[in-house]
Amino acid sequence: MRYQRSSTLFNEAQKSIPGGVNSPVRAFKSVGGTPVFVKKAKGAYLYDADGNTYLDYIASWGPMILGHAYKPVIDAIKTRADKGTSFGMPTALETEIANLALKMIPNMNKIRFVNSGTEACMSAIRLARGTTQREKIIKFKGCYHGHSDAFLIQAGSGAVTFGSPSSPGVTRGTAKDTLLADYNNLNEVSSLFNQFPEEIAAIIVEPVAGNMGCIPPKEGFLQGLRSLCDQYGSLLIFDEVMTGFRLAKGGAQELLGVAADIATYGKVLGGGLPVGAFAAKSEIMKHLAPDGPIYQAGTLSGNPLAMSAGLAMLQALDSDEEIFSRLASKTEHLEIGFKEVLKGKDIPYHINRLGSMISIHFTEEEVVDFETAALGNNERFNIYFHGMLDEGIYLPPSAFESYFLNDALTFEDIEKTINSFRKVVSNL
Ligand SMILES: *Cc1c(COP(=O)(O)O)cnc(C)c1O
């Protein structure tokens, strides 16, 4: 049996780890079946516990943008490890990566490192609230900003309403400070500002949404958010945990030409080690401890192993002028190939893509927000996912996730993927 060993390992894991996994999407709940247990990975390939090989389209959900076990990153980690792995004291390495990151990111001149994207976003809203002395935030339905309480909020009955907790354990008190709007819908944001003109500390947004499949912002959407924030004295937070160091050196801010007040990072930034960060202008960052009163801290923040991995990753990305356009053209190749395969077939679909983020939704409607993303045919997606998996193509195990291409994928690998899709389509 193809997944025998994974299945055994999964059963074992479930005895000691809730659901057998340390992050829910890994459990294959939405697509069914047995999660694949990985043994190792190199370049574009994953190798599982049963000896199966896969072309990887999730890249650890983004970080492995240059492929797995990328040598300069691995070498940096090994070299650094010999000198000690944590001190709880500052190192010159932290300044070095901070300077390089700030050179790559537009509009910002200070950056604080943390250990995950969740922490970065959680800290960013505290910074925004402390700076503006306001309490409410606006987030968009279907955007994910990590699992801290303020973000685990979904809509109540009305389209624009107070949020209600989307997880037990999140208090109503927390939920009442998170206002919700539909992605790509400026009118809703505008009416929230009308309703609470002096209470909104910040808007937090994925400048290109990647947690409901890939959904690019409509023309003028981000610019509109920028103007509303300026008009009402609120801060604009770009959650670039996914898009940062992936869409361009300077992330979505650079690619789409809209400036945020605070930007959060993670994923690629850590080169595969646990790293997050938030960046802002000095006028805002001066309020953060120890310069100012807004508290934020971390025993392992700026950890030398993580910083050396991140630095090696940023150096590789910064020195390759073609990396982001190459990734985009590989992804475009995949998009064109998939569309060829689907041409004339009676399978409604929409493919959204921006740069090296892409996803397919099996629906007739254009996918512009959570509601339209949710119209996708789940049953068809599951057959597609498992068909591709059996072909040795590892895709995100949920229609609500973007694919992340990595530069180790060759055009031949992508052709192979398209051919696999051709076989799988006949079962859809
Ligand atoms: C992954 C992700 C996060 C959370 O990062 P973690 O490192 O998983 O905590 C936050 N925001 C966005 C946009 C993400 O994609």
pLDDT per position in the chain (428 positions), as tens?
899 999 999 999 999 999 999 998 899 988 999 999 999 999 999 999 999 999 999 999 999 999 999 999 999 999 999 999 999 999 999 999 999 999 999 999 999 999 999 999 999 999 999 999 999 999 999 999 999 999 988 744 443 445 667 888 988 889 899 999 999 999 999 999 999 999 999 999 999 999 999 999 999 999 999 999 999 999 999 999 999 999 999 999 999 999 999 999 999 999 999 999 999 999 999 999 999 999 999 999 999 999 999 999 999 999 999 999 999 999 999 999 999 999 999 999 999 999 999 999 999 999 999 999 999 999 999 999 999 999 999 999 999 999 999 999 999 999 999 999 999 999 99
- Per the DSSP assignment, residues forming a β-bridge with 53 are 47
Q: Does domain 71-319 have CATH number 1.10.580.10?
A: no
Q: Where are the domains of the chain?
A: 4-69+322-425, 71-319
- CB 139 near ligand 1, within 6 Å: no
Residue nearest to atom 6 of ligand 1 (CA): 117
According to CATH, what is the number of the domain 4-69+322-425?
3.90.1150.10
Distance CA 286, CA 380 (A): 51
Q: How many secondary structure helices (H) and strands (E) does the chain include?
A: 14, 16
Q: Which residue has the tokens 């574009």?
A: 44
- CB 242 near ligand 1, within 6 Å: yes
Question: Can you say how many angstroms the Cα of residue 426 is from the centroid of all Cα atoms in its chain?
Answer: 31
> Quick check: is 144 catalytic?
yes
- Per the DSSP assignment, residues forming a β-bridge with 203 are 138, 236
Q: Which residue has the tokens 């960046």?
A: 279
If you measure from the C-alpha of residue 403 to the centroid of ligand 1, how many angstroms do you get, rounded to a whole number? 14
Same CATH fold assignment for domains 4-69+322-425 and 71-319 = no
- CB 402 near ligand 1, within 6 Å: no
Distance CA 282, CA 98 (A): 14
- How big is the chain, counted in residues? 428
Given 3, 144, 183, 403, which residue is catalytic?
144
> Quick check: is 83 catalytic?
no
Query: Among candidates 284, 217, 285, 221, which has minimal Cα distance to 247?
Result: 217
Given 182, 239, 407, 413, which residue is catalytic?
239
- CB 144 near ligand 1, within 6 Å: yes
Strands (E), 166-215: 178-181, 200-205
Pairing mode of beta strands 45-48, 53-56: antiparallel
> Quick check: is 75 catalytic?
no
> What is the pTM assigned to this prediction?
0.97
Distance CA 2, CA 204 (A): 43
